């Protein structure tokens, strides 16, 4: 780690003092070292602000992290894919001195795999610009969808993108399933395209998935669509990305502290004056909360529950994600590529032994759906369920399992359900000394790495203008 770990010893919670005299002091404290916090702290450090980034876990990265468990198994927060049309995300890496191509392996293909005899299909991962002309173009040369369904899918995409541009709020009042039905979309498009995409990309079924969030997977990227490609990480995400970003913050003069959970905001005399940690108070002129939504709601509710500015944010719902990661004695697929397990609990998965976890003989990372079903399930039952579906999909997993881990995120995501988008808060708050960052805060890139980086950048801008304005 770039900075020493804080002591894990708990000490009595200090009472908030009226004066910051005697406390460790920074210009800005950023709470949470996910991509939003890393992006924010990096921008502030580059701008020569005295910034301290505090992370509760023993490692940086948040939902883009990786670690080694006590038995030596390499684990990640979950299967991630970098999209070639992201802009803020690669820009952050480059500015921090990282070479994107050293970190990402670009994949050639995406697969939609169904239990036989239903057809499966492998598509080029870099043809989305053709999809703008006709989605059917992606499916040319295979029988994954009948011709009528291909035309219907192309029509849905065209109408949806038009509505996204013209009336985004209206789109957020309807699920993608109802929207597709309203437009008489071919049933095969719903079963073989919409359902696997919504569960595979954002863990919730089409019947709950906002049509705004569905078209938001494409619409904001249209100007950059020619760069569409899909990339896997070339190693654990903390190791190849988050930790080097933390090191860049330290190089720029910032400080990064892991194992340092913030208990409470230090709020006295009408402004935020820092944070209270297990090791005592740390003072700052400005604090950026870059935690996931549920933690941010707890901090905000504590002081401002009755204030109108935060009511929408406190009403914003969370949704879970569930993942299973299996180390194998041999690869379970011939290539490492992103696969949607249509009609199974293996919503999205990839073999990773040639990309992310090269030290293993075989490695399967799976996003499970519906997530709610798996949250309270004993790990052995999760594995048993996944093995049954892996058998149905023809994956060579049963009999090859070396060890496995279930990694869940019960409340890390804001819900991509109808009516939720309008509740997302801006990065700027009316509270003196406080900004918000995180993928749930308002930006058009949804709950993605791109969205997290953009939110961090905006929070840094707000912090800087508050400091410059003396507030
Ligand atoms: C399984 C899975 C698959 C995903 N796949 C993709 C994908 O393919 N492509 C994509 O673009 N995005 C993907 N995402 C989404 C992406 O990971 C997130 O949008 C992004 O990483 C969120 O970053 P963040 O900084 O907003 O939040 P987080 O990464 O959650 O960071 C918040 C940090 O705050 C810390 N924290 C919380 N409370 C405290 C406290 N009290 N004190 C100090 N620190 C605290 C947390 O420990 C955490 O490190 C995926 C996410 C998951 C879970």
Is the minimum distance from the CB of 171 to ligand 1 under 6 angstroms? no
Find the mean pLDDT for residues 369-387: 97
446 Cα: distance to centroid of ligand 1 (angstroms): 12
- In angstroms, the CA 293 to CA 410 distance is 12
Residue 18, Cβ neighbours under 10 Å: how many? Answer: 8
* pLDDT of residue 136 exceeding 70: no
* pLDDT of residue 24 exceeding 50: yes
Q: pLDDT by residue (tens digit) across 93-133?
A: 999 999 999 999 999 889 999 999 988 888 887 754 344 33
Find the mean pLDDT for residues 31-57: 98
Share of the chain above pLDDT 70, in %: 92
292 Cα: distance to centroid of ligand 1 (angstroms): 7
Q: pLDDT by residue (tens digit) across 282-295?
A: 999 999 999 999 99
- In angstroms, the CA 340 to CA 347 distance is 6
Confidence (pLDDT) at 132: 39
Helix, strand, coil percent values for the chain (each to nearest 5)? 35, 25, 40
**What is the overall mean pLDDT for the chain?**
92
Q: What is the DSSP letter of 45?
A: H
Q: Are 232 and 349 in contact (CB under 8 A)?
A: no
63 Cα: distance to centroid of ligand 1 (angstroms): 3
Q: What distances in angstroms separate CA 138 from CA 60, 70, 104, 439, 445, one per listed residue? A: 38, 44, 24, 30, 23
Angular region, 282: left φ>0, alpha ψ -120 to 50, beta rest: beta
Say whether the peptide bond before residue 326 is cis (omega within 30 degrees of 0). Answer: no
Confidence (pLDDT) at 124: 80
* pLDDT of residue 280 exceeding 70: yes
Q: What is the DSSP letter of 398?
A: T
Q: How far is CA 400 from the centre of its chain?
A: 30
Is the minimum distance from the CB of 420 to ligand 1 under 6 angstroms? no
Q: What distances in angstroms separate CA 400 from CA 62, 350, 403, one per listed residue? A: 30, 16, 9
Q: What distances in angstroms separate CA 271 from CA 14, 157, 178, 202, 429, one per listed residue? A: 18, 47, 46, 37, 12
Confidence (pLDDT) at 71: 95
Confidence (pLDDT) at 141: 55
Confidence (pLDDT) at 395: 97
Q: Are 194 and 360 in contact (CB under 8 A)?
A: no
* pLDDT of residue 299 exceeding 80: yes
Q: pLDDT by residue (tens digit) across 213-231?
A: 999 999 998 888 888 889 9
Its sign, for the CA torsion 177, 179, 180, 181, is positive
**Class of domain 24-64+236-316+418-468 as given by CATH:** alpha beta
pLDDT-derived band at 172 (thresholds 50, 70, 90) equals: very high
62 Cα: distance to centroid of ligand 1 (angstroms): 4
Q: Helix, strand, or coil here: 237?
A: helix
Taking CA atoms only, the protein residue closest to ligand 1 atom 34 is 32
DSSP state letters, 343-363: TSSEEEEEE-TTTT-TTSSEE
CA angle 96, 99, 105 (to 5 degrees): 135
Is the minimum distance from the CB of 436 to ligand 1 under 6 angstroms? no
Taking CA atoms only, the protein residue closest to ligand 1 atom 41 is 262
Atom index in ligand 1 nearest the CA of residue 407 equals 1
Confidence (pLDDT) at 277: 96
Token pair belonging to 358: 């090269």
Angular region, 397: left φ>0, alpha ψ -120 to 50, beta rest: alpha
Of the given ranges (106-110, 304-308, 345-349), which has the lowest mean pLDDT? 106-110
Q: Helix, strand, or coil here: 166?
A: helix
Does an H or E element contain 52, and which?
strand 51-54
Find the mean pLDDT for residues 354-369: 97
Is the minimum distance from the CB of 297 to ligand 1 under 6 angstroms? no
pLDDT-derived band at 145 (thresholds 50, 70, 90) equals: confident
Is the minimum distance from the CB of 310 to ligand 1 under 6 angstroms? no
Confidence (pLDDT) at 298: 98
Name the pTM for this structure: 0.94
Q: Helix, strand, or coil here: 401?
A: strand
Confidence (pLDDT) at 289: 98
Confidence (pLDDT) at 7: 30
Q: What is the DSSP letter of 239?
A: I
Q: Are 272 and 264 in contact (CB under 8 A)?
A: no
């Amino acid at each position: 780690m770039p900075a020493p770990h804080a002591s894990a010893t708990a000490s009595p919670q200090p009472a908030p003092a009226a004066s910051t005299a005697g406390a460790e002091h920074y210009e800005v404290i950023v709470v949470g070292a996910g991509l939003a916090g890393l992006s924010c702290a990096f921008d502030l450090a580059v701008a020569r602000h005295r910034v301290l980034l505090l992370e509760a876990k023993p490692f940086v990265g948040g939902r883009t992290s990786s670690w080694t468990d006590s038995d030596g198994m390499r684990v990640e927060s979950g299967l991630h894919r970098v999209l070639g049309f992201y802009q803020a995300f690669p820009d952050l890496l480059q500015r921090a001195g990282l070479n994107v191509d050293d970190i990402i392996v670009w994949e050639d293909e995406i697969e939609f795999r169904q239990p036989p005899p239903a057809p499966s299909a492998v598509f080029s991962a870099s043809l989305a610009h053709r999809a703008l002309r006709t989605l059917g173009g992606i499916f040319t040369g295979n029988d994954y969808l009948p011709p009528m369904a291909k035309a219907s899918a192309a029509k849905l995409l065209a109408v949806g993108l038009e509505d996204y541009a013209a009336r985004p709020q209206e789109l957020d009042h309807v699920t993608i399933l109802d929207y597709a039905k309203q437009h008489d979309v071919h049933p095969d498009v719903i079963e073989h395209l919409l359902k696997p995409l919504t569960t595979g990309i954002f863990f919730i079924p089409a019947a709950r998935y906002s049509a705004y969030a569905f078209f938001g997977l494409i619409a904001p990227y249209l100007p950059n669509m020619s760069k569409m490609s899909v990339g896997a990480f070339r190693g654990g995400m903390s190791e190849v990305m988050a930790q080097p970003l933390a090191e860049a913050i330290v190089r720029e003069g910032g400080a990064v502290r892991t194992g340092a959970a913030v208990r409470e905001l230090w709020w006295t005399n009408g402004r935020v004056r820092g944070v209270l940690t297990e090791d005592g108070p740390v003072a700052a002129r400005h604090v950026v909360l870059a935690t996931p939504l549920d933690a941010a709601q707890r901090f905000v509710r504590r002081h401002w529950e009755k204030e109108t500015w935060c009511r929408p944010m406190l009403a914003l719902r969370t949704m879970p994600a569930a993942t299973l990661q299996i180390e194998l004695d041999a690869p379970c697929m011939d290539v490492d590529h992103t696969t949607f397990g249509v009609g199974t609990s293996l919503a999205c998965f990839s073999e990773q032994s040639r990309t992310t976890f090269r030290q293993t003989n075989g490695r399967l990372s799976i996003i499970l759906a519906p997530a709610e079903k798996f949250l309270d399930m004993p790990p052995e039952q999760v594995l048993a369920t996944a093995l049954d579906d892996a058998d149905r999909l023809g994956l060579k997993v049963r009999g090859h399992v070396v060890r496995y881990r279930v990694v869940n995120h019960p409340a890390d995501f804001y819900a991509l359900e109808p009516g939720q988008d309008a509740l997302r808060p801006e990065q700027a708050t009316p509270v003196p000394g406080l900004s918000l960052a995180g993928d749930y805060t308002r930006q058009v890139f949804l709950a993605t790495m791109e969205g997290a980086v953009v939110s961090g950048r905006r929070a840094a801008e707000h912090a800087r203008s508050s400091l410059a304005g003396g507030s």
